[in-house]
Amino acid sequence: MASYIAASIMCADQLHIADELEKLETANIDLLHCDVMDGNYVNNLAIGPEWLMAVKKATNIPLDIHLATIDPIKYVDMFAHVKPEYISFHVEVCEDVSEVIQRIRSYNIKPAIALNPETSLDTILPYLNEIEMVLMMTVNPGFAGQIFQKNVLVKLRRLRELLKDYAHAPLIEVDGNINETTIGQMSDCLPDVFVLGTSALFHKKDSQTYFERSTRIWSHAKR
């Protein structure tokens, strides 16, 4: 099973983003995880479409946009011109999940569903054949540096078991204090995509390069 590393761009040095992107490319990062926050669904604001378009032009790393917003269709339309690889939206805010999935696909973007730690896995089961990825939050969205919520492991194990019989199973992505320790807790149900932020990749006190850090995490995930 392949494992992929996504770098959480909100954790990078925003004053030196071009340098950060160059380092991430050198580290062979697979995806740039881009949190879009509207100040309503979560109590934070982050990443506008024009800034993200500038990032897109500055790197060859595919973008993985996570909409932590209400009214996801509004934001799908707003960010579609950036042409990310994935757009994920929260099942908690949707009246018509399939409509949002179809809107994302209409732009030739891969749809993904995100769910919070306390949200039942049952809410997304009807849509697993319609999406390309499940983003399982291991912290509540909005801020970096939170404590990994171990209750998510039960959902992760169940989802991995459910997907084993799918001919075209969506990827499983995890986001929220993902590091060597928390990955070790997922050893029996490893996800496909690990979002790395301040606790692993962008750790300013760690003198290792992004390449060394991501390789260390990737190797740990493959055990």
Judged against a pLDDT cut of 80, whether residue 210 lies above it is answered with: no
More confident residue, 134 or 149: 134
Q: What per-residue confidence (pLDDT) applies to 215?
A: 72
Tokens linked to 152: 């998510």
Instruction: Report the alpha-carbon distance of residue 82 to residue 217 in Å, rounded.
Output: 29
Judged against a pLDDT cut of 60, whether residue 30 lies above it is answered with: yes
Question: Pick from 169, 210, 187: which is nearest to 61 by CA?
Answer: 210
**Mean pLDDT of all residues in 149-157:** 93
Q: What per-residue confidence (pLDDT) applies to 84?
A: 98
Percent of the chain with pLDDT over 70: 92
Write the CATH number of the domain with boundaries 4-221.
3.20.20.70
Q: What per-residue confidence (pLDDT) applies to 177?
A: 86
Q: Where are the strands (E) in the chain, listed by range?
A: 4-8, 31-38, 45-46, 63-68, 86-90, 110-115, 133-137, 171-175, 193-196
Specify burial of residue 19 (Cβ count, 10 A radius: 0-12, 13-18, 19+): exposed
Whether 19 sits among the annotated catalytic residues: the reply is no
Q: What is the mean pLDDT of the chain?
A: 91
Question: Domain coordinates of the chain in residue numbers?
Answer: 4-221
Q: What per-residue confidence (pLDDT) applies to 83?
A: 98
Q: Evaluate whether 193 touches 171 at the Cβ level (below 8 Å).
A: yes
Local confidence band at 205 (pLDDT 50, 70, 90 cut-offs): low
Whether 35 sits among the annotated catalytic residues: the reply is yes
pLDDT digits over 42-93, tens only? Answer: 989 999 999 999 999 999 999 999 999 999 999 999 999 999 999 999 999 9
Other Cβ atoms closer than 10 A to 124 = 20
Q: Evaluate whether 149 touches 138 at the Cβ level (below 8 Å).
A: yes
Q: Give the active site residue among 175, 188, 192, 206.
A: 175
Task: Check the CA dihedral 201-204-206-211 and report its sign.
Answer: positive
pTM of the model: 0.92
Q: Give the active site residue among 30, 35, 64, 192.
A: 35
Q: What per-residue confidence (pLDDT) applies to 23?
A: 92
Q: What per-residue confidence (pLDDT) applies to 199?
A: 67
